[in-house]
Every structure is written in C-alpha cells, then in structure tokens.
Amino acid sequence: MVDYVTDAEYLKSRDLGMVIAKGMAVMYESNPKNPVDFLAKWLLNYSQVERAQDDRTEALAVVELQVKQHAEARVQLNTQEAERKKEEEQVDEVKARFVEQIAEAQDLQDHLQGLTDHLQQFTNASAVYIGKLVAPKKPIKDGDDDQAHVDDTSEKIILFSHADKEHEFLVDKVLNKGSGLTFDVFEDKLDEEGKLIEKEDLDHVLVKEVVREPRIHFYKVPRLGSYMAIRLQ
C-alpha cells in the first residue's frame, strides 16, 4: 500500500521546495526551448550530485573512524610494548642480582635454595630439586670418631638437600645407584684411548617423556612430563 500522506508531505517539504525553486531560477536564466525537459534533467543531475556528496561524506566518516581506531590500537600496542619491556627489565634485574650474589658468595652452599627457586621461576619447570653425591651413612658406636658414620665401602648415593616449595617432601630423600638414571651425569665419558672427553655443554641427562623411560624412579604417582638432570661442579 502506497503511503500517499508521506509522499504528499515530502512534496510539500521545505527542502524540496527550495530545490525546485533553485531549478526554476536556473531554468529562467537559461531560457531553454523545452522548460519541462530542462527542469527534469536539472533535477536528476542535482539528485546525483547530492547523492555523490552524501556518499563522500559517509566514506569520509568511515575513514575517520578507521583512523581513530588505528590510532587507539597503536596506543594500546605501544602501552603493551612498554609493559613488556618493563617486565623484561625487571626479569633481567632479578637475574643479574642473583648472579651478583653468587659471584660474591663465600659459600655457594648458602645459595642452593635460592638457585632452586631461581631455576623454577625462570624455566617454568614444575619441579626443581638439588641432590649431592655422597657416601651412605652407617650406624656408629660410642667411642667412634667423627668419620665413623661414613660408609666408604658402599656405592655412593644421591641425597636430596633442596627442593621447590611443592616438592619439599624430597628433602632428605635418597636415590640409590641402580634406582634411576640420574647417576649417568656423574659418569665421565672416555674415548677409545681412555682419555676424558671434553664437553662444551654441561653434563646432563634429558628424558623427553618420563613414563616411557623404565629407568626413571618415581617418589609418587607417575605423571607425564620431561626430566633433566644437570651435573653441578
């Protein structure tokens, strides 16, 4: 159904009247032979010009919006980059401070717990613990000297002395030789002539998936993950 009321109101609108009046003025000045045809063409051209202007205005608004959004995105990226650099600087500062403490330490044993926490923080390892290759202890009797508890006749064991907070249960735990592959890091590699092979990297053992390695020793329920043992000297 055609809305004649709306059409009538549009035809009587002030804007349309001004356009027609402008067209009539141009027609009067031009004095064409066919006034009706002239006015119709003028109105059509006027409509096209106005529509093009509206399109340009709309396109300009879109461009301005895109420029604004781009500027806001750039500000956000710059802020994120500044925060990232700040975090990196803080991390570098913590690392440098720890290295300085180690360099100035009179006894590195005093910093083993700090090393444990430091490694876990900056390697994202789920667990970090430190053990020492020592001789097992044996019972002593009254009158024995201060070395009587040392069992030099038995194979050495690994005594865990430091661990991250979630794995403190490992402290004072013992790993016997043959119970795991960690002892491999203490074995020197010799060439065919029996000479020690010099290595550029630290002696280490790496297991990509522990549940597939039969020599891995578990103190609790086995879990998926990797394992690395590094020899500290």
Instruction: Please report which helix (H) or strand (E) contains residue 7, including its range.
Output: helix 4-11
**Tens digit of each residue's pLDDT, the chain (233 residues):** 555 445 445 445 556 678 778 878 887 788 888 888 888 888 888 888 888 888 888 888 888 888 899 999 999 999 999 999 999 999 999 999 999 988 888 888 889 999 999 999 999 899 999 999 988 887 666 665 566 566 677 788 999 999 999 999 999 999 998 888 899 888 877 667 767 666 666 688 899 999 999 999 998 888 899 999 998 87
CA angle 48, 50, 53 (to 5 degrees): 110
Question: Looking at this protein, which amino acid is placed at residue 11?
Answer: L
3-state SS, one letter per residue, for 25-50: HHHHHHCCCCHHHHHHHHHHHHHHHH
Domain boundaries, the chain: 17-104, 178-233
Helix, strand, or coil here: 137?
A: strand
Q: Edge to edge, what strands does the sheet with 157-163 contain?
A: 129-134, 157-163, 174-175
Sign of CA dihedral 132, 136, 139, 140: negative
- Cβ distance 164 to 190 under 8 Å? no
pTM listed for this prediction:
0.59
Q: How many CB atoms lie within 10 A of CB 128?
A: 19
